Amino acid sequence: RSGHIEKFAANANVSVKKLFFFYQTKEEDGAGEGKPASLIFTLGDHDGLHGSCLYFIRSGNRPITTSTLDTEVFCGQLDNNLLRNLQETLSSLYLPVLKADQKWGDLSGDQVTITNFLHGLEKFIGVVKDAAASLEDNVELDKVSRNLRELLETAPNPTKFSQDHDIVD
């Protein structure tokens, strides 16, 4: 695997367009608990992700210089929370690039369609963000042994209502 980074950074005849650095246990060691994680370099063709990952992807064959690095190389981080990764990638990479892009091919003259698409993408990002947040939040509800009618019937009784109110709180 030596030389892959040099091939990725080459200014001519680019043969490597993606690089991945995984921080995880090696697959041959298994992903078991208690095994030490290590930094693994891969091209992503054979190694599966079950830890954290930094990725670098070339967008074209233009030479990589300090002035073209931000347009020629996309990078980011992935981990086991795929919804959060998707939301972060869409909101911090794709949406800004699409908003800044002036070349929309056949749609270049159709600003209404472009605006509708970007608005739809923003709404989708919001839905993914909410879905990821809901999966991260663990809310556990206790089952109340009384039905709603009983609760309403006992509401005029201050002692009973106080007991029921404590259950809800």
Q: 53-66: per-residue pLDDT in tens?
A: 888 888 777 778 88
Starting at the edge strand that comes first in sequence, how are the strands of the sheet with 38-42 ordered?
38-42, 18-24, 52-58, 73-78
Query: What is the sign of the dihedral through the CA atoms of 104, 57, 136 and 29?
Result: positive
**Token reading at 91:** 């909101």
d(CA 58, CA 4): 13
Rounded Cα gap, residues 147 and 65, in angstroms: 69
Mean pLDDT, 10 residues at a time, over the chain (169 residues)? 74 76 72 73 78 84 81 82 87 84 80 92 94 76 65 64 59
pLDDT score recorded for residue 123: 96
Q: Is 73 exposed, middle or buried (0-12, 13-18, 19+ CB in 10 A)?
A: middle
